[in-house]
Amino acid sequence: MRYLYVIYALLTFVIGFLIRLPFILLFSLDGVRGRKAIWKLVQLWSIEWFFLIGIRSRRIFEAPLDPKKGPYIVVANHISYMDIPILFRTLPFYARPLAKFELGKIPLFGFLYKQLAVTIDRSSGKSKLAGVHKLKDTINEGGSILIFPEGTFNETGAPLKSFYDGAFRVAIETQAPILPVVFLDALSLWHYKSFWSLKPGINRTVFLPVIDTAKYGKDMHQLKEDTFKSMEQAILQYK
């Protein structure tokens, strides 16, 4: 039954994408406005797909969140293949993710990634620098960005693995506030060790209090440490 369920989930995912592909192609011609329209389209697709595969989402706000006070730098833990679908399903505003450039090579889906995400090649310093500039441009255009500061799946067994500096360097340079987010159930819904482990269930996404970057001046390391502690504490508390 597990194999049949995963095949069903993948088929509904692909069909949902193909239905929306003409609109994605059309919106891609309209720059920033088109990117925001694609975000809305993908958000509706994620709501539909989660319903079809039996995953219910619950959003928990530790403090009131006003999307109009952004743009934000959203930082989230990275633990499962479900992280990106959960992001679109639960984030209440437009944000541009930072992603590995390899994702842009996937047939058809790669085109969608290139429209929504800032893709970088971590082995190339030039690509990293260009990615940082694109993230800053997105913030200056009034759009939030999303970064997984752990970089890759957390396979350590600890609540979080160590954070990279990128998200916090951009925060200090742009003075954009940090919005920490934790996905509590993504790993149990789809474990990174097994493609066939996808299953229905409840997903909880916790939005932690916004961190005011301006209070840190140029102290990027303290900002990173405080963000790490707040996310780690939330994971341990809810688990």
Nearest CA among 154, 186, 153, 180 for reference residue 167: 180
* The predicted structure's pLDDT at residue 68: 83
- Whether residue 147 lies inside any domain: the answer is yes
Least confident of 66-75, 131-140, 177-186: 131-140
| Per-residue pLDDT tens over the stretch 188-215 | 999 989 989 999 999 999 999 999 999 9
Q: Is residue 123 pLDDT above 70, yes or no?
A: no
* The predicted structure's pLDDT at residue 154: 92
Burial class (CB in 10 A: 0-12, 13-18, 19+), 55: buried
Dihedral angle, C-alpha 44, 139, 150, 227, nearest 10 °: -110
* Distance, CA of 158 to chain centre: 20
Phi, psi at residue 145, to the nearest 5°? -125, 155
Question: What is the pLDDT confidence band of residue 122, given thresholds at 50, 70 and 90?
Answer: low
- Whether residue 175 lies inside any domain: the answer is yes
Length of the chain: 239
- Whether residue 49 lies inside any domain: the answer is no
- Whether residue 53 lies inside any domain: the answer is no
Q: Quote the domain boundaries for residue 83.
A: 58-238
The pair of structure tokens assigned to 20 is: 């929306």
Rounded to a whole number of angstroms, the distance between the first and last alpha carbons of the chain is 28
CATH of the domain at 192: 3.40.1130.10
At residue 53, the 3 state secondary structure works out as helix
* The predicted structure's pLDDT at residue 108: 72
Rounded-to-integer distance, Cα 49 and Cα 148, Å: 23
* The predicted structure's pLDDT at residue 206: 97
At residue 219, the 3 state secondary structure works out as coil
- Whether residue 23 lies inside any domain: the answer is no
* The predicted structure's pLDDT at residue 32: 84
- Whether residue 185 lies inside any domain: the answer is yes
Cβ neighbours for 133, distance < 8 A, ≥ 6 positions apart: none
The pair of structure tokens assigned to 220 is: 């990027």
Q: Which pairing describes strands 118-120 and 95-100: parallel, antiparallel, or unpaired?
A: parallel
- Whether residue 116 lies inside any domain: the answer is yes
Q: Amino acid identity of 12?
A: T
Domain count along the chain:
1
| Per-residue pLDDT tens over the stretch 35-90 | 899 999 999 999 999 999 999 999 999 999 998 888 999 999 999 989 989 999 99
- Whether residue 150 lies inside any domain: the answer is yes
* Mean pLDDT for all residues in the chain: 91
Rounded-to-integer distance, Cα 10 and Cα 4, Å: 10
Residue spans of beta strands (DSSP E) within the chain: 55-61, 73-76, 95-100, 118-120, 144-147, 178-183, 201-207
Q: Contact, 215 vs 175, CB < 8 A?
A: no
| Per-residue pLDDT tens over the stretch 222-233 | 999 999 999 999
